[in-house]
Amino acid sequence: MNKERTRVLIVDDEEIVRESLSGWLEKDGYTVETAEDGPTAVDKVNRATWSVMLIDMKMPGMDGLQVLDRVKQIQPNVTAVIMTAFATVDTAVSAMKLGAYDYLVKPFDPEELSMMMEKIVAQQALVRENVILRRALKREFRFRDLVSKSTAMQQVFNLARTAARSQSTILVLGESGTGKELMARAIHSESPRAGGPFVAVSCAALTESLLESELFGHERGSFTGAFQRHKGKFEAAQHGTLFLDEIGDIGPKLQADLLRVLEEKKIQRVGGTETLDVDVRIIAATNRDLAKAVADGSFREDLYYRLNVIPVVLPPLRERREDIPLLVDHLLEQLSVETERRIEGVSHEAMALLMNHAWPGNVRELRNVLERAVVVAAGSVIQATDLGLHKPDAAAPEESIATLESVERRHIAHVLEQTGGNVTQAARILDIDRVTLYNKIKKYHLRETETA
Amino acid sequence: MAAIYLWWIGADAADRDLLEQVRQQVGRTFEAPAVLWDDPSRPTGTYDTRRGQHSSTQILRWLAAHQPPGAMKTLAITDVDLFIPVLTFVYGEAQLGGRAAVVSMARLGDGTARVSPAMVSARLVKEAVHELGHTFGLTHCGSERCVMTRSVNMAGVDRKAAVLCADCRTVYRDRLLEGYDQ
């Protein structure tokens, strides 16, 4: 308990009440101030943070309930206690509905007051402890803006941290909405290049010729509309990181150009003759199966191996459902700031719905759902109806009737696929030893499946 | 060092033996001269007819304005029941870091044989030292045995000793250096 940290504001129109009550609480070690009416109290709440407010119910002008209402809008976390000599169930209920912690019927026993204050101090200490623990937990479970406590993602974070320190090219793989760009930004900011620029280019958004000009720049007059010299993204990312999103969508010419840059670390602007040295670290990302694209000839094998020096595979949200509560908490914190709405969390029913959704759009979809919910929610807690998600059909998506063994089989097959059949790496990701993994591969006939 | 004055302002006649016990313990605890002040003046306008009690805050106001000449601190002792407006009763009240304090005997015994006069006097001594402690800037102590622990019932009063704990004694001596005995 830390009473000195507990700042108490007493709001009462009677001077003798303010004087005697503040004297009583000061002797207990609390830091106390007083206000003689509602407007003065609101002004003090606007100017400083209070832990506890003792508010008289009956005051001229603004009464206690009106003060409470205003105060809760300014400082929702303040613990407010209503003091009333006119105790009725109605006023007590009204005060509690407005967020009062408790009410005291004047005159109250010294014991009642001291016990209540001690309870408040203890509760606030717990809240503070909880905030500190949650922050510590978040620090433990995050890699910059990526939040996860799942074993698979923690291993991805560890790999990404190690990769960040190297100069190697990194290929970030994962479905849409899994946070590939966030991962690239996190790697950049943890790398020795953090002081340099991070430049992101979406390779799917432009035609091949425009993308070429965008990446390498162009000289004046090199093509119709090129009125002046334009520096490309490679130059813009000098001494930093160039993030090439949706790399799987680039055409054969650009694939060749990119391969040359990666090997020679030199570029030429479109229409130019000058060769420029570039010191840029490439992080590429795609949601496409590049190995398959190589197999069918649509993506150069040499470029694939040049990009895929360190593959970082982001699992889809449906495979790390334990992260959903953590992500909801994190995203609501962000959205509360962005929308200037105070959202405390989601109801149990809403959380159950979020946990059961398939999330084909991954974390991005979750963010969009929550953003909508924050806008439409009537109160400070998001209800299931605010989410705009349908309850899982009782007649059964496959997920809900899958056996534990079938889920395990699919998951192991997926991890093996991601590691290119590397059992040691897969065992590390799955957090089991190699012998156990070999036994499961045998049990589920996964080698036969692969070779079939 | 100036003296601490003890002033009987009760409705009935003073119990001199009782006041003498308080005087001796106050002198010992605060290592200062403590004297009994005989003055028939009594605070007026402190009685609340609706509650049938006296406002301790009003008494302190009166006492602050009627300090005996040369008094470092003045403790008023009374047999009337005291209250502050929001509380049902108080055993006493003091100006934190000020000059005036008041303590009441009204609730220190319940009038039965279970509570002996010796027990009442022991309780009064503790509450007198406690309230005077506040005038030296001491706040409530977390130690259950220290005289500066807050007591909201008789059991609490009986549990504590009549002396300052080591921590409060240190704070008290610091307060003297800060001029709380002026």
pLDDT, tens digit, 9 for 90 and up, residues A264-288:
999 988 887 888 899 999 999 999 8
Reported as a pLDDT band with limits 50, 70 and 90, residue A163 is: very high
Which of residues A381 and A27 earns the better pLDDT score? A27
Say if residue A125's pLDDT is above 50.
yes
Q: Which of B87, B90, B104, B171 is most worth mutating to test chain A (most A CB atoms within 10 A of its CB)? A: B87
Contacts of B90 in chain A (CB under 8 A): 24, 110
Would you tell me the crossing angle of helices A15-27 and B56-65 to the nearest 10 degrees? 90
Mean pLDDT confidence for A98-124: 91
Give residue A4's pLDDT: 65
Tell if the CB–CB gap between A106 and B96 is shorter than 8 Å: no
Residues sharing a CB contact under 8 Å with residue A23, sequence separation 6 or more, in sequence order:
B57, B84, B93, B95, B96
> Which has more confidence, A74 or B105?
B105
Q: What is the mean pLDDT of residues A152-168?
A: 91
Q: Is the pLDDT of residue A82 over 60?
A: yes
- Answer yes or no: do B84 and A29 touch at CB < 8 A: no
Give the pLDDT band of residue B47 (cuts 50, 70, 90): very high
**Residue B1, exposed/middle/buried by CB under 10 A (0-12, 13-18, 19+)?**
exposed
Q: In chain A, which residues have their Cβ closer than 8 Å to the Cβ of B152?
A: 109-111, 114
* pLDDT band, residue A224 (cuts 50/70/90): low
Q: Which residues of B touch A113 (CB under 8 A)?
A: 86-87
* Residue B123 identity: R
pLDDT at A1 over 50: no
For position A2, what pLDDT does the model report? 61
Catalytic residue among B127, B131, B144, B178: B131
Strand partners, A84: A105
Share of chain B above pLDDT 90, in %: 83
Alpha helix ranges (H) inside A51-109: 64-74, 89-97
Q: Which residue of A has its CA nearest to B86?
A: A107
Q: Which of A18, A19, A27, A106 to probe by mutation at the B interface, max B CB count within 10 Å?
A: A27
What pLDDT is recorded for position A132?
Answer: 80
- Check A27 against B87: CB less than 8 A apart: no
Searching chain B, which residue's CA lies closest to the CA of residue A111? Answer: B152
Q: What is the pLDDT of residue A396?
A: 42
Tokens, residue A131:
């905030």
Lowest mean pLDDT among A224-228, A311-315, B136-140: A224-228
**pLDDT in the model for residue A432:** 87
Query: Which range among A77-91, A188-202, B76-90, B149-163 shows the weakest confidence by mean pLDDT?
Result: A77-91
Environment class of A364 (CB within 10 Å of its CB; exposed 0-12, middle 13-18, buried 19+)? middle
Give the chain A residue whose CA is nearest to the CA of B85.
A17
For A18-53, what is each residue's pLDDT tens digit? 999 999 999 999 999 999 999 999 999 888 889 999
Q: Is residue B31 annotated as a catalytic residue, yes or no?
A: no
Q: Which pLDDT score is estimated for B110?
A: 67
Contact between residue B82 and residue B60 where contact means Cβ atoms under 8 Å apart: no
Run of H or E including A450: helix A446-451
Range from A191-205, A334-348, B74-88 carrying the lowest mean pLDDT: A334-348
Between A220 and B4, the more confident residue is B4
Count of CA atoms in the C-beta half-sphere (13 A) of A397: 9
Residue-by-residue DSSP string for A343-401: --EE-HHHHHHHHH---TTHHHHHHHHHHHHHHH-SSSEE-GGGTT-PPPPTT--HHHH
The pLDDT value given to residue A397: 46
**pLDDT tens digits for A317-364?**
999 998 999 899 889 988 888 887 878 788 888 888 999 899 999 999
In this predicted structure, what is the pLDDT of residue B78?
97
Shortest CB distance from A111 goes to which of B95, B140, B153? B153
- Nearest residue in chain A measured CA to CA from B154: A111
Q: Which residues of A touch B (CB under 8 A)?
A: 14, 16-17, 19-21, 23-24, 26-29, 83, 104, 106-111, 113-114
- In this predicted model, what pLDDT tens digit does every residue of B3-39 receive, in sequence order? 999 999 999 999 999 999 999 999 999 999 999 999 9
3-state secondary structure of A33: strand
Selection from A413-422, A430-439, B124-133 with the highest mean pLDDT: B124-133
Q: Distance, in angstroms, between A146 CA and closest chain B CA? A: 45
pLDDT higher than threshold 50 for residue A393: no
Which of chain B's residues have a Cβ under 8 Å away from the Cβ of A24? 84, 87, 90, 93
- Name the token pair of A297: 């000839």
d(CA A421, CA A441): 11
Q: Do B95 and A107 touch (CB under 8 A)?
A: no
Question: Which DSSP letter does residue B68 get?
Answer: P
Q: What is the average pLDDT value for chain B, to the nearest integer?
A: 93
Cβ–Cβ gap A24/B87 under 8 Å: yes
| Residue among A190, A43, A52 nearest A124 (CA) | A52
DSSP state of A149: -
CB proximity list for B118: less than 8 A, separation 6 or greater:
none
Least confident of A85-99, A421-435, B95-109, B134-148: A85-99
**Per the CB < 8 Å rule, is A23 touching B87?**
no
Residue of B50, B51, B86 to mutate when probing chain A, most A C-beta within 10 A: B86
- Residue A301 pLDDT: 93
With vertex at residue B38, the alpha carbon angle to CA B37 and CA B44, rounded to the nearest 5 degrees, is 100
pLDDT score recorded for residue A305: 93
pTM (two decimals)? 0.58
Is the pLDDT score of A452 beyond 60? no
Judging contacts by C-beta atoms under 8 Å, the chain A residues touching residue B56 are 20
Least confident segment among A2-16, A62-76, A231-245, A377-391: A377-391
Nearest to B96 among A17, A23, A104 (CB): A23
- The pLDDT, as a whole number, for residue A392 is 53
d(CA A38, CA A55): 9
Percent of chain A at pLDDT > 70 equals 92
Give the C-alpha separation, A368 to A360, whole Å.
Answer: 12
pLDDT at B65: 93
Pairs of CB atoms within 8 A across A/B: 68
**Distance, CA of A294 to CA of A250 (rounded, Å):** 13
Whether A398 shows a pLDDT value over 50: the answer reads: no
Give burial (CB, 10 Å; 0-12/13-18/19+) of A365: middle
Instruction: Answer yes or no: do B51 and A20 touch at CB < 8 A.
Output: no
Cβ B87–A109 below 8 Å, yes or no?
A: yes
Q: How far apart are CA A187 and CA A7, in angstroms?
A: 43
Q: How far is B168 from chain A (nearest CA, A)?
A: 13
Amino acid at B130: H
Closest residue, chain B, to A2 (C-alpha): B142
| pLDDT band, very low/low/confident/very high, at A77 (cuts 50, 70, 90) | confident
* pLDDT (mean) for B147-152: 93
pLDDT mean across residues, chain A: 86
Q: Is A103 helix (H, G, I), strand (E, B) or coil?
A: strand
Contacts of B131 in chain A (CB under 8 A): none
Mean pLDDT of B154-164: 93
Count the neighbouring beta carbons within 10 Å of the beta carbon of residue A391: 11
CA angle B22, B28, B34 (to 5 degrees): 60
CB contact under 8 A, B134 and A83: no
Nearest to A291 by CA among A281, A283, A300, A279: A300
